[in-house]
Every structure is written in structure tokens, then in C-alpha cells.
């Protein structure tokens, strides 16, 4: 037996903003399309910790994403450490999780003389 959503519940879901933003995963049983995955929501939680030159990346099926979309050659089977090694990133290990992290190019850090 599945629960039926009332019109008021559907209106509340629509007003919550869950139906706005880029599409990542669909959940039509809820009454609208949930547009952000759990990993994308984790990336949203990391954004307040960004410093200049840094960006948030997160894992989705098949690829890693950043705010510009799919990241070329950043496959979902690659860990944060592997991405850092292969693409020359530094990352804040205190704010990196298995499926989302704050990263920045090593060269950008060296050029500014800043420390993470």
C-alpha cells in the first residue's frame, strides 16, 4: 500500500524549492521531480566554506560534477585522492567526503602563497 499525498502536501513540496534547479535525479512518486541528488545537496552544504580559487565537486552516476556541470574525465569510480593526483588538485581533507569535496588547483595555491 502506498501513501497518497494530499493537494496541500504537494503544494508544500512545490513551495519548498525541491523542484527548482538542475535535474540530477527524479522521484516522481513524491509528486514532483526532486532535482538535486543527496551528493549535490552535500555540495551545497560545503559552499559556505569556499575560499577564493576553490570549488566544490560532487559525485553523480558516471561522472563528477562541479557548478559548471559534468567534469571531463572525472569518472565516478575515482576517489577524491585519485582526482587530486590525476588532475593536480589540492583538497581540504577535513571538508572532503566520499562523494563531495572542496578542491583547488595546486598551481593556484602556489601562485597566491596562501595556505588552506
Domain of residue 20, residue span: 1-36
Residue 56 shares a structural domain with residue 100: yes
Give the DSSP letter of residue 39: H
- pLDDT at residue 1 in the model: 42
- For the chain, the domain total comes to 2
pLDDT in tens, 79-114: 999 999 999 999 988 777 889 999 999 875 555 555
Residue 23 shares a structural domain with residue 42: no
Residue 6 shares a structural domain with residue 21: yes
Residue 30 shares a structural domain with residue 16: yes
100 phi/psi in degrees, rounded to 5: -155, 145
Residue 55 shares a structural domain with residue 1: no
Distance CA 58, CA 90 (A): 15
Residue 91 shares a structural domain with residue 66: yes
Band the pLDDT of 9: cuts 50, 70, 90: low
51 phi/psi in degrees, rounded to 5: -110, 165
Residue 19 shares a structural domain with residue 46: no
Amino acid at each position: 500500500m502506498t501513501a497518497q499525498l494530499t493537494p496541500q502536501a504537494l503544494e508544500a513540496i512545490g513551495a519548498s524549492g525541491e523542484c527548482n534547479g538542475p535535474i540530477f535525479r527524479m522521484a516522481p512518486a513524491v509528486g514532483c521531480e526532486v532535482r538535486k541528488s543527496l551528493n549535490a545537496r552535500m555540495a551545497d552544504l560545503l559552499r559556505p566554506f569556499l575560499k577564493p580559487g576553490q570549488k566544490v565537486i560532487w559525485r553523480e552516476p558516471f561522472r563528477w560534477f562541479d557548478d559548471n556541470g559534468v567534469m571531463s574525465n572525472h569518472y565516478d569510480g575515482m576517489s577524491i585522492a585519485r582526482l587530486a593526483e590525476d588532475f593536480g588538485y589540492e583538497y581540504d581533507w577535513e571538508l572532503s567526503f566520499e562523494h563531495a569535496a572542496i578542491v583547488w588547483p595546486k598551481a593556484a595555491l602556489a601562485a597566491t602563497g596562501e595556505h588552506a
